[in-house]
Amino acid sequence: MPDTLQRSGALIDPARLDAMMTAVSAFGGGEDGSMMRLTLSAEDGRARDWLGAWFAGNGFAGKIDPIGNQFGFAGMGGSNAPVVLVGSHLDSQPNGGRFDGALGVVSACEAIRAVREALERRGVLSACEFAVVNWTNEEGARFQPSLLGSSVFTGAAELDWALERRDGSGISVGEALSSIGYAGTDHVAVPGAYVELHIEGGPFLERENTRFGIFTRFWGATKYRLAFLGRQAHTGPTPMAERLDALLAGAHVVTGLKALAGAYGLDLHTSVGRLEVFPNSPNTVPSEAVLFIELRSGSATVLAEAEERLNAMIEAAAKEAGVGFEIRSVDRRIAGPMDAGLVGLAERSAAGHGVVSRHLDTIGGHDAVSLAAVCPSIVLAVPSVGGVIHHPTELTRPEDQAFGTQVLADMLMTLATDGLAALQSRDEAA
Ligand SMILES: [Zn+2]
């Protein structure tokens, strides 16, 4: 990548990156490529120790907050320089892969180190401080919910509540943190920006032969628990015209939701994943049918519109079946865009290597979705072979790991030079 050397000077070292990936993969890694590093397990503890040792060995100041989020401050810029956090998570799914999360933490270390070295060579002070972050329990495999560490960090979840979450054996997050020595006491403030590099975990980049993607939107969800209320009766003698069948109304909504999704192309996912019928007897007309409904979209507008249409559908279905209904709970997770300034910066940085960025949606979630509520945030994506994630065969090729890390370093170099003002200029590509 000689063009990069001339352009920004923050040249990452693919061999160093590779060596770090190999080193961190030893903690919970199996010979078949699998990764078993559940959050706050002994393996996670050793991976954290390894990261902490890397911080110490490379002049990064380590910090641990009360939910166990692990930070390493590079010590760049003056004391008033805005902080840019860069990272992801070291925890994995059971029998997962080794790149999900870990690559984001390791690439943050390498990219920040490259930027710091370049600035030191020139004798230039950075306009930003940079810090690596490893968020606690992104995966939500051992403790629920997922994104726990980043949610506490942003204030979306209460610390005390989070520390009380328990795994299948009854061990709390607080106890697990203490047992591996990561119940921290440091306070880390909300940063000026957050940048995360992650494997795509989907098929689009590879399929389109594109090396680099940007998650520009995160999907929201609207969840209803809806009860149709009819009248219990014998399915034999009761005349058809006199039946008030709660399940029939539910059936109208099940098929109606499928049609509703069809009306929005790829922009809306709908489902009824669970149905509870009362009294659930083969020869009794159901008096109650409870539907667990989900609407998901990357567009807040589509989500709101779909919810309106769902409500009309519910009323029509109730009328058609002659039953009543009750919406027993509504849960809304908002959809939204990632920061336009960071998207522009990522696009310009990739364009500097002649690569056009593919825009992607994140449906499952990333820590950057938590952070997006409190500061400009973004997730950069590198290709996943076969689109595989959460599986031992999960793979991002070394050259793609290196390329993504180089684009990340170029972005950080621009931030180091121009400060957060770099996020205002969204025009001309570099
Ligand atoms: Zn992940």
Residue located via tokens 């008033």: 80
DSSP 60-129: PEEEE-TT--EEEE---S-TTPPEEEEEE-----TTB-SSTTHHHHHHHHHHHHHHHHHHHHHT---SSE
Which carries the bigger pLDDT value, residue 2 or residue 122? 122
Query: What's the CA-to-centroid distance between 319 and ligand 1, angstroms?
Result: 45
Average pLDDT over residues 250-279: 96
Query: What's the CA-to-centroid distance between 198 and ligand 1, angstroms?
Result: 7
Query: What's the CA-to-centroid distance between 206 and ligand 1, angstroms?
Result: 18
Query: What's the CA-to-centroid distance between 100 and ligand 1, angstroms?
Result: 5
Query: What's the CA-to-centroid distance between 61 and ligand 1, angstroms?
Result: 24
Query: What's the CA-to-centroid distance between 170 and ligand 1, angstroms?
Result: 25
Which carries the bigger pLDDT value, residue 23 or residue 365? 23
Q: With a threshold of 0.75, does the pTM exceed it?
A: yes
User: Could you read off the pLDDT of 92-105 as tens digits, one per residue?
Assistant: 999 999 999 999 99
Query: What's the CA-to-centroid distance between 424 and ligand 1, angstroms?
Result: 28
Torsion of CA 207, 213, 214, 216, to 10 degrees: -20
Query: What's the CA-to-centroid distance between 78 and ligand 1, angstroms?
Result: 32
pLDDT band at 8; cut points 50, 70, 90: low
Residue located via tokens 């930003």: 128
Contact 249, 228 (CB under 8 A): yes
DSSP 171-196: -BHHHHHHHHT----------SEEEE
Query: What's the CA-to-centroid distance between 22 and ligand 1, angstroms?
Result: 18
Query: What's the CA-to-centroid distance between 223 and ligand 1, angstroms?
Result: 24
Query: What's the CA-to-centroid distance between 291 and ligand 1, angstroms?
Result: 31
Query: What's the CA-to-centroid distance between 314 and ligand 1, angstroms?
Result: 36
Query: What's the CA-to-centroid distance between 89 and ligand 1, angstroms?
Result: 7
Domains along the sequence of the chain with CATH: 2-218+336-423 (3.40.630.10), 220-333 (3.30.70.360)
Query: What's the CA-to-centroid distance between 340 and ligand 1, angstroms?
Result: 22
Residue located via tokens 């328990």: 166
Closest CA to 218 of 299, 100, 295, 104: 299
Contact 245, 286 (CB under 8 A): yes
Query: What's the CA-to-centroid distance between 122 and ligand 1, angstroms?
Result: 35
Q: Which residues surround ligand 1, an ion (CB under 5 A)?
A: 100-101
Residue 2 has pLDDT above 80, yes or no: no
User: Could you read off the pLDDT of 192-208 as tens digits, one per residue?
Assistant: 999 999 999 999 999 99
N-terminal to C-terminal alpha carbon distance within the chain: 16
Percent of the chain beyond pLDDT 70? Answer: 97
DSSP 8-class letter at 51: H
